[in-house]
Structure 1
């Protein structure tokens, strides 16, 4: 929750849709036993009140034996003291602003602890009146970093976070997820001093919007049972007459929210279920308390989690393209500034236990770029600050493509999504292959491992940024073509161009050069691209394509070279 919106939220206290629309984020969890590669996954979209909101991606180095430091929330002056030694972590902060904090969004530290924070929440008026938020107190603006800097395990991270709430109080309602290589936790902060933390099941998944979700809890449960909760939590529920119980167990979400649900949030619970467990979703029911955790219909890949963040209720009665459904709250909103999927692998070296998939802009028309968590640095474009469009900044590079594609989804969306989908599949395979080298490097030394993953992360990110330059240029050209198209003439549907060598090698083809021609071959199948010498050809640097028998291969557009990369139209991929 952004500080500047707290006043608005108070003014609009009775209008949930208005007060949360600028605060809304969506969380996703996948347990290691139901993921395709045995990893834990926690994820979150950071949704803003507008689409122009620069986020960066940087590394905070380890600090040894420097006492007297603290983390400060610059908007409020609230400070949390730090120990003399703090741990290295990477994080996704806001651009520098004078009126608010850094909002680290997500963190993964050198001990394999990942924190996704936060999904903003609120409770009923009676609850917040009984235990008001504390100002100044702990906010999302610094929360993730304060945990990552000092925690060696997820459980320790939970205890640290809850200790902050006990000692200082919370300024807002939040949901936080914390993982390490052994377990995953969810923390719900309900008010100034009340909370519940729950160990998440290894064999289930969750997708949730901006409301509290923890269900039945036994007031006798202990940390050994997988629960922490604030002193007096259940007594306060009873005092206010809010208790919703089954036997001796309290349904916390129903209790602190006075047994109400808003469509604005519940639609996202249901949308996630239609993707991960369609057999359980049924028809959407307004006011339904959808479960926090459930078993997916099949094991879930990180690529599927990415697609959850692109969902716009397509193919359902709530599809926002249908008349009367335009205002439904989708997961794949245009207002996301960043989305992260933090994927932790139990068997990897702790100092590089995770892959942080970072998507800048909104997921539908942007791309998740992976980094091993052991990195010491990020590509320079991730550090470009400021609130005005800057083509050298990573956020702006990716967001500009989103902005164009969303001007007319029927013409431009599929071409962009197909391009990034292919890149994500390629990068996932590349990371799985690189993980073998990564583990070997860390077996040599920590320094060798850190150096390897840092260089790999920068190279991969800069490659994708180069590709987005070309994607943007071609998409903008298509839009210009359509803008000047005479009335009644057919408009052009955007088809992206892909780098020939990358896609050919991904598909198992060899790539060779001979006197300016390029041949890709696998077995008896081959395609040769030759510079087109016909002076009448409208693009003289284009390439013609023939198959192994010398027959012309029709391409929807020409192949060409730009900045040393040979590009071919996306529909050529189907031939390989």
Structure 2
């Protein structure tokens, strides 16, 4: 199960931006090359067919232009993953989630049922299409929404109509709000607004740990859900929360402590809909632990008095950080391999068993990282910035591109399905594979590469923002933005080629078959 997400509310970010960020990781044993593209309305399908589930959906006739990060090889579908649309709404889809047997029994996932036999023969059963999934979400939602909240509602309607064959978490953001949405079984879902002053950490585990059903069925200020969620929960005994009446507290009764159907108003979806298995402890909870360790370092994270341990089941879904969070903080936590702990596979603080006990965030099969930043202070055309990284995050960099454009630089757009150093994806894959065996000898060059490229990205944003602000009314803003994106891509290519040469030299000099007369 791949992917790791962090969400940062506008009062928790360094500049008042809403920030949505997610690693897309390939499944175990696979690597998926990625492209960064713009999809024009003329290229958007009006009738959509999923490759994996064969579900067919008629789409509205008024799509907006949007960015996406699809697969280079489309044999398994589009997998658009992350982008902005013309209404300056961002979407990140998806984070694979865990669930439990009670949920799956109450609302089974909607998987493709292949045909049995041949038409006209006895016992023939025609194919039954499955539901929607990560392959489809961005393509069938992002072009049609005008706010983060509207994104939740559109995807929710599609889930209730078509169902899904997998559990997923999806983020939507605009300049004011971030919403996190989690599927529950085949047709149900919940969504919660991220508090403005907080950040959210999401490994591959159903995460929301507090949900207000009264709000979801009332004012809908901070919570939204599928239309029959309360009745469905009650009918299937899914709420595990004790009410005051259950505990025999004085002055309480079931009517005061529960909703109209006996379901407690404030409940824990993670307990009701999620999982707490040993697999979670080595794969999921540990990633939330190391992210929050970095962002709230004053807490106790180690030893017998620790507030939370890597296998704790109650690590909060959202927290207020100790200071405002930056793009660099996002890159750090989404590149983490447990630096400074015994669990670092490149470190020397622990035993060999400890060094490979927990699943790193910056893993070998990171495909791409998209950080979707909406900057409320920037000129309107410049507000949406899509920071992009390809390949394993422990060895790469993160650079910004304006999102409201009609094209993207070829260095990130024209990813091939075969290995070459001529595009950003494969160049980073090569760097990681060459540098990994000699991590300590190469890491300084990689850190310098990241510093130079990210600093240049910030510089280009600052200079282009100022140029756009000084334009006369009616001037061509898109031309300026695309020129800025090309500047970033060209410097990125230059520095990536340099880094490839450096790590190739360093690692070549460490080859085991090296020999020199001066050695004797």
- Structure 1 partner of 2:114: none
> Aligned runs of 1:61-76 on 2, under 5 Å?
61-63=40-42, 69-76=46-53
Q: Residue 457 of structure 1 is aligned with which of 481, 485, 506?
A: 485
Which of 394, 399, 412 is residue 442 of structure 2 equivalent to? 412
Q: Aligned equivalents of 2:469 and 2:196: distance in 1?
A: 24
Give the structure with the larger strand fraction. Answer: 1
1:33 match: secondary structure? coil
d(CA) in 2 for partners of 1:488, 1:209: 52
Mapped pair 1:401 → 2:445: no
Structure 2 Cα separation of the partners of residues 406 and 254 of structure 1: 39
CA contact (8 A) 2:206 2:275 kept: no
Residue 59 of structure 1 is matched in structure 2 by 38
> Which of 230, 237, 244 is matched with 2:240 structurally?
244
Deviation at 1:171, TM superposition (A): 1.8
- The residue that corresponds to 2:501 in the other structure is 473
Rg comparison, structure with higher value:
1
* Distance across 2 between alignment mates of 1:201 and 1:413: 36
In the TM superposition, residue 46 of structure 1 has moved relative to its aligned partner by: 0.8
Q: 1:111 aligns with which of 70, 87, 104?
A: 87
1:267 matched to 2:281: no
The equivalent residue for 1:444 is 473
Counterpart-to-counterpart distance in 2, 1:398 and 1:371: 18
Does 1:253 pair with 2:231?
no
What's the CA shift string for 1:219-245, capped at 9, x where partnerless? Answer: 211353221111332333344434232
Determine the C-alpha separation between the residues in 1 that align with 2:363 and 2:456. 25
Whether contact under 8 Å (2:83, 2:90) holds in the other structure is yes
The whole-number CA distance in structure 2 between the counterparts of 1:158 and 1:489 is 67
Give the superposition deviation at 1:486: 3.5
Aligned counterparts of 1:395 and 1:436: Cα–Cα separation in 2: 31
Counterparts of 2:14 and 2:56 in 1: how far apart (Å)? Answer: 41
- SS of 2:368's equivalent? strand
The answer as to whether partners of 1:405 and 1:416 remain within 8 angstroms in 2 is no
**SS in structure 1 at match of 2:385:** strand
1:279 is matched with which residue? 298
The reply on whether 1:90 has 2:73 as its aligned counterpart is: no
1:143 equivalent in alignment to 2:137? yes
Q: CA RMSD in A?
A: 2.3
Residue 341 (structure 2) pairs with residue 362 (structure 1): no
Task: Give the CA deviation at 1:267.
Answer: 0.4
The 1:145/1:347 distance shift into structure 2, 3 A limit, reads farther
Shift, 1:285, TM fit: 4.9
Q: Please name the residue that 1:228 is paired with.
A: 224
Where 1:213 maps in the other structure, the secondary structure is coil
Could you give the per-residue CA deviations for residues 468-498 of structure 1, whole angstroms, max 9, x where no partner exists? 11221222122222325448989xxxxxxxx
1:429 deviates by: 3.3
CA distance in 1, matches of 2:225, 2:272: 14
What is the TM-score with the length of structure 1 in the denominator? 0.76
Go from structure 1 to structure 2 and tell me whether the alpha carbon gap of 1:193 and 1:52 turns closer, same or farther (over 3 Å shift).
closer
Q: CA deviation at 1:388?
A: 2.0
Asked whether the 8 Å contact 2:148–2:178 carries over to 1, the reply is yes
> Conserved in 2, the CA contact under 8 Å of 1:31 and 1:205?
yes
Shift of 1:246: 5.7
Contact 2:445 2:502 in 1 (8 A): no
CA contact (8 A) 1:96 1:385 kept: no
Paired position in structure 2 for 1:8: none
SS in 1 for 2:41: coil
- 1:153, 1:97 → 2: CA distance? 29
Given that 2:10 and 2:176 are in contact with CA atoms closer than 8 Å, whether structure 1 keeps it comes out as no
Q: Secondary structure at the match of 2:343?
A: coil
The answer (yes or no) to whether the contact 2:199–2:318 under 8 Å persists in 1 is: yes
What is the deviation of 1:349? 4.7
Gaps of 5+ in 1: 1-22, 491-576
SS in 1 for 2:11: helix
* Structure 2 gap segments, 5+ residues each: 112-129, 244-263, 303-308
Alpha-carbon offset, residue 251 of structure 1: 0.5
- Conservation of the 8 A alpha-carbon contact between 1:51 and 1:334: no
CA distance in 1, matches of 2:288, 2:193: 20
SS of equivalent to 1:225: coil
Structure 2 residue corresponding to 1:295, chosen from 320, 344, 362: 320
Q: Distance in 1 between matches of 2:370 and 2:30?
A: 17
Judge conservation of contact 2:372–2:386 (CA < 8 Å) in 1: yes
Q: Distance in 1 between matches of 2:357 and 2:417?
A: 28
Instruction: Mark the CA change 1:408 to 1:149 in structure 2 (over 3 Å): closer, same or farther.
Output: same
Please point out which of 432, 441, 456 is paired with 2:462.
432
Alignment check: 8 A CA contact 1:119 1:210 kept:
yes
The question of 1:308 aligning with 2:308 is answered no
Q: Matched residue of 1:410: which SS?
A: helix
Specify whether residues 489 and 291 from structure 1 end up closer, same or farther in structure 2 by C-alpha distance, changes over 3 A only: farther
Q: SS of the residue aligned with 1:403?
A: helix
Q: Is the contact between residue 110 and residue 352 of structure 1 (CA under 8 Å) also seen in structure 2?
A: no
